[in-house]
Amino acid sequence: MNKIIRLPDYAFQNNTNLIQLRLANNQIKEIADHAFYGLSKMKYLQIHQNSLKDMPTAFSHLISLDELNLEDNRLAHLPDKSFQFKDKLTTLRLRNNPIKSIGDKVFTNLPSLLELKLSEVHDMTKFPDLTGTRNLTVIQLDRAKIQSLPPDLCTDLRKLKTFDVHSNKIGSIPKMSDCKNLTILNIANNELTSLDGRLFTGMDQLKDLTLSINFIHDISEDAFVGLSSLEYLNLAENQISEIHPDAFKPLKALKDL
């Protein structure tokens, strides 16, 4: 462990061939705007376990960045353009930051990003705009205050394999037929009242569906049509008063209910 507190402007101007930079486990509180000037070839930046409170504008110099680790800092807000010009970014790690809010378009135009994980962003009421960020395979946005999911969610995110939005304020599920690669879906602890509308038609890869702690009041005959590979279904702690006798008939592979 070192004790670096600040990165000054042009700190690496004589190291323009750097591909990887490890700055983790320091005490960095500030990164000057041009600290990374000249590092256009750098692909991997590890700056986790520091004391950053604000997103550095210096990241704009890192146009070839593939992996960015910002875990275990003190970031409270992610403004728009935080990751601008990061069209090669595949991995973004933000865990264990006290993030309370994000800009509406902070995650737009990240065509190579594969995973988006944010927990306990308590001021986030809207699902983030993911325009131009279409290759995500994992989305985890739990313990926030998201009120709704976009109706074209699966049209834009056809490669999704894991979708976890538990512990929000979501009142309904859009049709998810185009999420054909989805294997895990967790919408527990929300405000769902109904599963009507053949929401899961065509989702024959889904293995794990968690809908516990909602306000679902009945299970219709076609509620689970399309879930031929489902193995785990959790409906605990709802307000179910009626289940159609054939409701679970499509679930040929079910092992745990």
**Contact between residue 96 and residue 72 where contact means Cβ atoms under 8 Å apart:** yes
CA-derived radius of gyration, the chain: 21
Q: Judge if 1-136 and 164-257 fold alike in CATH terms.
A: yes
Domain 164-257, second-level architecture: Alpha-Beta Horseshoe (3.80)
- Using alpha carbons only, give the angle 223, 228, 232 rounded to the nearest 5 degrees: 80
Task: Give domain limits for the chain.
Answer: 1-136, 164-257
Ramachandran sector of residue 166 (left: φ over 0; alpha: ψ -120 to 50; beta: rest):
beta
Q: What is the pLDDT along the chain (257 residues), one digit of tens a residue?
A: 678 999 999 999 999 999 999 999 999 999 999 999 999 999 999 999 999 999 999 999 999 999 999 999 999 999 998 998 889 999 999 988 999 899 989 999 999 999 999 988 988 999 999 999 999 999 999 999 999 999 999 998 999 999 999 999 999 999 999 999 999 999 999 999 999 989 999 999 999 999 999 999 999 999 999 999 999 999 999 999 999 999 999 999 999 98
Q: Which pLDDT belongs to residue 94?
A: 92
Distance CA 181, CA 250 (A): 18
User: Would the pTM count as exceeding 0.85?
Assistant: yes
Domain 1-136, second-level architecture: Alpha-Beta Horseshoe (3.80)
**Contact between residue 165 and residue 190 where contact means Cβ atoms under 8 Å apart:** yes
**Contact between residue 105 and residue 83 where contact means Cβ atoms under 8 Å apart:** no
- In sequence order, what E strands does 44-170 have? 44-46, 67-69, 77-78, 91-93, 101-102, 115-119, 138-142, 162-164
